[in-house]
């Protein structure tokens, strides 16, 4: 997310460049301090978090973190920040009163938006949401309205308010459909893609994020390099091998960033090159360095790595009618016993179309022909239709 060392300016947001408010690097730092799985990455996190809070005068957020015991109690700092907040809010209130009394609608809108941005900046969630809604009602331009709603999305992400994020994304989509400009349409794709990652919809997220990659501008939401990493993670999950090279590995934007993120580079290329031992090593590194330490992705780390193991197994087995367990274990760089147990779980769950002959030490792949697959699909769909008709007849009767 945005750099925690950079304080957003205390000016009303312009129509062209949304402010990085609230600073989404801060809840990421707080996550590193709170989650045991991220403890290897928390060096310096407390100092950076407190420094950023002090820089942005975030008394409400400091009080919140202190109550959670994520930062040491510091009454003197908290009192000073509260005094700063009170003085700034009085100044903003006076500015709004003057605009309402002596100036026009544009100045009133600017004052309301400045107040909303300040409340979001200091972490005063409820007041910030209310202020953004008030500013929305007094703002005329379609672009400015979209920016205010996208700011509500950021507030929701900052405070982990899923309902606020979802409702605000729907509002923003409606506004964009009614006439949003190209930049805001593209920006909304990034917001929706990041949200979809947070709710484990990696396939749809990959579609939106990769579509926005060549023209990415949403730096108020996520740092560009981090955005490219998200694109790679989602792309490796969602894309077929041929598309993976075209849309991810050979993408100029990805090529420019990958040298500084060698673990991500090895991760994507090893799967495409079918170097499965290297891919398993890279997957373990991705889990420890990019999934577990991420506030956005940590909760999905186990699911993600499981799905990528299935994808790698299926990709290799697709080339063989049968293959020995020893050969498979060698290809993936794991022991035969571990591979046997891992494959058995996925076969039992119906995720891999193969069987294990432990006596012969062979994995046999099953490929139902297209005609049988279509027949099975028709039977399932027909059963579903009949069930629906029976339920409807009971309701009518």
Query: What does the pLDDT look like over 48-74, one tens digit per residue?
Result: 999 999 999 999 999 999 999 999 999
pTM: 0.86
User: Which pLDDT belongs to residue 61?
Assistant: 97
Residues 32 and 43: beta-carbon distance below 8 Å = no
Q: Provide the 3-class DSSP secondary structure of residue 99.
A: helix
Question: 183-192, pLDDT tens digit by residue?
Answer: 999 999 999 9
CA distance linking residue 346 with residue 312, whole number of Å: 12
- pLDDT, one tens digit per residue, over 337-375 is 999 999 999 999 999 999 999 888 899 998 765 455 565
Strand-by-strand arrangement of the 362-365 sheet = 322-324, 362-365, 354-357
- Alpha-carbon span 11 to 19, nearest angstrom: 9
Predicted confidence at residue 115, as pLDDT, reads: 96
Q: Give the whole-angstrom CA distance, residue 384 versus residue 239.
A: 30
Render pLDDT for 282-306 as a digit per residue (tens, 0 to 9): 999 999 999 999 999 999 999 999 9
DSSP, collapsed to helix, strand or coil, labels residue 304 as helix
Q: How far is it, in rounded angstroms, from Cα 271 to Cα 310? A: 12
303: nearest Cα among 281, 283, 275, 330: 283
**Range from 8-22, 240-254, 298-312, 383-397 carrying the lowest mean pLDDT:** 8-22
DSSP class of residue 14 equals P
**Hey, which residues does 365 pair with through a beta bridge?**
354
Q: Tokens for 332? A: 């993936």
Neighbours of 51 (CB within 10 A): 12
CA–CA dist 180, 148 (Å, integer): 13
Question: Cβ distance 310 to 238 under 8 Å?
Answer: no
**Model confidence at 378, in pLDDT bands (50, 70, 90)?**
low
Structure tokens at 204: 């749809």
Both structure tokens of 266: 């090895």
pLDDT at 72: 93
**pLDDT at 32 (0 to 100):** 94
Degrees to nearest 5, angle at CA 59 with 22 and 70? 85
Distance CA 215, CA 153 (A): 21
Output 179 or 10, whichever has higher pLDDT: 179
Looking at the chain, the whole-number percentage of residues with pLDDT higher than 90 is: 76
């Amino acid at each position: 997310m945005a750099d925690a060392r950079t304080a957003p300016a205390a000016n009303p947001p312009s129509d062209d460049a949304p402010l990085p408010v609230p600073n989404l690097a801060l809840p990421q730092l707080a996550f590193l301090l709170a989650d045991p799985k991220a403890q290897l990455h928390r060096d310096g996190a407390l100092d950076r978090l407190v420094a950023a809070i002090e820089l942005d005068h975030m008394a409400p957020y400091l009080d919140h973190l202190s109550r959670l015991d994520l930062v040491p109690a510091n009454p003197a700092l908290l009192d000073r920040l509260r005094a700063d907040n009170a003085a700034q809010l009085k100044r903003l209130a006076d500015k709004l009163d003057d605009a309402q009394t002596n100036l026009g609608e544009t100045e009133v809108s600017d004052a309301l938006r400045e107040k909303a941005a300040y409340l979001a900046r200091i972490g005063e969630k409820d007041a910030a949401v209310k202020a953004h809604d008030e500013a929305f009602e007094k703002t005329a331009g379609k672009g400015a309205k979209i920016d205010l709603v996208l700011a509500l999305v950021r507030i929701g992400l900052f405070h982990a308010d899923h309902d606020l994020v979802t409702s605000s994304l729907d509002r923003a989509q409606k506004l964009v459909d009614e006439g949003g400009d190209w930049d805001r349409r593209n920006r909304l794709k990034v917001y929706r893609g990041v949200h979809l990652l947070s709710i484990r919809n990696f396939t749809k997220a990959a579609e939106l994020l990769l579509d926005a990659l060549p023209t990415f501008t949403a730096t108020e939401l996520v740092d560009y390099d981090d955005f490219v990493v998200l694109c790679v993670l989602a792309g490796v999950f969602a894309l077929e091998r041929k598309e993976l090279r075209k849309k991810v590995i050979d993408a100029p934007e990805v090529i420019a960033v990958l040298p500084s993120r060698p673990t991500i580079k090895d991760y994507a290329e090893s799967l495409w090159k079918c170097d499965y031992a290297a891919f398993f090593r890279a997957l373990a590194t991705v889990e420890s360095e990019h999934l577990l330490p991420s506030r956005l992705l940590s909760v999905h780390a186990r699911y993600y790595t499981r799905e990528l193991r299935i994808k790698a197994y299926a990709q290799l087995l697709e080339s063989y009618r049968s293959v020995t367990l020893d050969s498979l274990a060698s290809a993936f760089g794991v022991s035969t016993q571990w591979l046997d147990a891992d494959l058995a779980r996925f076969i039992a769950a119906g995720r891999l179309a193969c069987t294990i002959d432990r006596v012969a030490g062979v994995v046999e792949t099953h490929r139902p022909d297209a005609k049988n697959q279509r027949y099975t699909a028709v039977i399932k769909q027909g059963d579903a239709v009949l069930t629906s008709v029976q339920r409807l007849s009971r309701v009518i009767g």
